[in-house]
């Protein structure tokens, strides 16, 4: 018999029978609701993300939750609760846990290659120019624009030598 999801009414694909205190409880859930209840994991999530979620969950519960920024006093546990950081230094103070979160939220990217404030100094600008060129190089190779890739490679060497 086809059942609808107990929570949202969509067709149920996960059927669960639990026996607790001698009582039989049946649950019928769709994929999304089952995943959000923690009963199943969604099949289409990449394995790396699943691992990361697992690490984050266990890590943040234990020692990571105690991470504290010595500049603004925010703890990692507080950040998890609010979703808002306390000061620029938090990006370094929470780096080990924050980095995977950022990468996950940003299509896997972990480095800025855009605009640099003039006051950030030339070394910073150079560093980002190289990063930007490298990203362009990667894209050029991926799209098989080899002439452009060769040009970019030369420019990277130039900037690195300057």
Partner 1 sequence: MKLADLTHSAGEWLRGVGPMHDVVISSRIRLARNLAGVPFLSQCSEDQQRDLAGRLREEVLAAKIAREVLYVDIGAARELDRQLLVERHLISRQHAGASHPRGVAVSSHETSAIMINEEDHLRIQVLRSGLDLREAVDEITRMDDLLECRLDYAFHSRYGYLTACPTNVGTGLRVSVMLHLPALKMTGEIEKAFRAAHDMRLAIRGLFGEGTEASGDFFQVSNQTTLGKTEEQIVEEFLGEMVPHFIEYERRARASLMKRRPVAVDDKAHRSLALLRSAHLISSDETMYLLSLVRLGVNVQRIDDVDLKTINELFLLTQPAHLQRMLQNELSPEARAEARATYIRQRLGSG
Given the rule CB under 8 A, which residues bind partner 1?
Answer: 71-74, 82-88, 91-92, 98, 101-102, 105-120, 124, 127, 132, 135
Q: Check if the beta carbon of residue 117 is closer than 8 Å to that of residue 128.
A: no
Q: In the complex, what is the shortest distance from the CB of residue 137 to partner 1, in angstroms, rounded to a whole number? A: 14
Q: Cβ of residue 40: shortest distance to partner 1, in angstroms?
A: 21
Query: Would you say 16 or 148 has its CB closer to partner 1?
Result: 148
Q: Which is nearer to partner 1, 26 or 95 (CB)?
A: 95
Rg value, the chain, Cα: 24
Dihedrals phi, psi of 84, to nearest 5 degrees: -125, 135
Instruction: Give the nearest distance from C-beta 91 to partner 1 in angstroms.
Output: 6
Least Å distance, CB 106 to partner 1, is 4
For partner 1, give the closer residue by CB, 16 or 52. Answer: 52
Residue 3 or 104: the one with the smaller Cβ distance to partner 1 is: 104
Nearer to partner 1, 106 or 157 (CB): 106
Q: Which has the closest alpha carbon to 134: 103, 155, 109, 120?
A: 155
CB 112, min distance to partner 1, A? 3
Burial of 79 (0-12, 13-18, 19+ CB in 10 A): buried
Please, is 74 exposed, middle or buried when counting C-beta atoms within 10 Å of its C-beta (0-12, 13-18, 19+)? buried
For residue 121, the 8-state DSSP code is -
């Amino acid at each position: 018999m086809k059942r609808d999801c107990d929570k949202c009414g969509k067709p149920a694909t996960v059927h669960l029978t639990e026996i607790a205190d001698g009582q039989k409880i049946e649950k019928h859930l769709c994929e999304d609701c089952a995943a959000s209840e923690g009963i199943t994991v969604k099949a289409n999530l990449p394995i790396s993300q699943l691992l990361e979620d697992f690490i984050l969950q266990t890590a943040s519960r234990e020692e990571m939750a105690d991470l504290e920024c010595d500049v603004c006093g925010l703890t990692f546990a507080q950040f998890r609760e609010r979703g808002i950081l306390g000061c620029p230094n938090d990006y370094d103070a929470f780096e080990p846990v924050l980095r995977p979160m950022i990468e996950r939220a940003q299509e896997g990217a972990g480095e800025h290659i855009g605009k640099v404030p003039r006051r950030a100094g030339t070394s910073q600008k150079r560093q980002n120019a190289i990063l930007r060129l490298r990203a362009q190089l990667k894209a050029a190779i991926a799209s098989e624009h080899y002439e452009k890739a060769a040009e970019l490679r030369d420019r990277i060497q130039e900037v690195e030598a300057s």
